[in-house]
Amino acid sequence: MGDKIRCAHILVEKMSVAQQVLDRLKAGESFSKLAAEYSIDGTRKRGGDLGFFGHGMMVRPFEEAAFKLNVGEISGLVKTEFGYHIIKRLE
């Protein structure tokens, strides 16, 4: 396993919104469409794609959750100082 992974995320400010988005993902909605609709950072234009990153490049709670995911898997809600993330491991 390499030391870099590729993930996408959806970042929102409120836990209630994050839970709503997570419920819609679990119901089968498109991750990239929901990222474009809800995410509050610049990755929304790329469907939430963060590209490749290694250890030490992201804030700790985000990194710990991201590296535990299998390819294609979606995290639960991950709180950081930026808000609430939902992370999807791409590769």
36-88 pLDDT per residue, tens? 999 999 999 999 999 999 999 999 999 999 999 999 999 999 999 999 999 99
Q: What angle do CA 32, 34, 35 make, to 5 degrees?
A: 60
The domain defined by 4-89 folds into: Chitinase A; domain 3 (3.10.50)
CB atoms within 10 A of CB 62: 23
- Name the pTM for this structure: 0.95
Helices (H) and strands (E) in the chain — how many of each? 3, 4
